[in-house]
Amino acid sequence: MASLISWFARKELWEKGNAYLKEYGVKKSLARFVSLMEEKIWEKYFLTAENELRYQKWWKSQLITEKKRQKINRQLEGFKYKPVISVLVPVYNIPARYL
Condensed to tens digits (0 to 9), the pLDDT of residues 1-59 reads 555 566 566 777 778 888 888 989 988 888 887 887 777 766 666 667 677 788 888 88
How far is it between the farthest Cα atoms of the chain? 69
**In this predicted structure, what is the pLDDT of residue 42?**
65
Beta carbons of 4 and 44 less than 8 angstroms apart: yes
Distance (Å, whole) CA 61 – CA 49 = 19
* 39-43, 59-63, 75-79, 89-93, range with the lowest pLDDT: 39-43
Tell me the pTM. Answer: 0.34
Residue 3: name the closest of 40, 36, 39, 52 by CA: 40
Say if residue 72's pLDDT is above 80.
Answer: yes
**Rounded CA separation 63/67 (Å):** 11
CA distance 94 to 44: 21
CA distance 68 to 74: 10
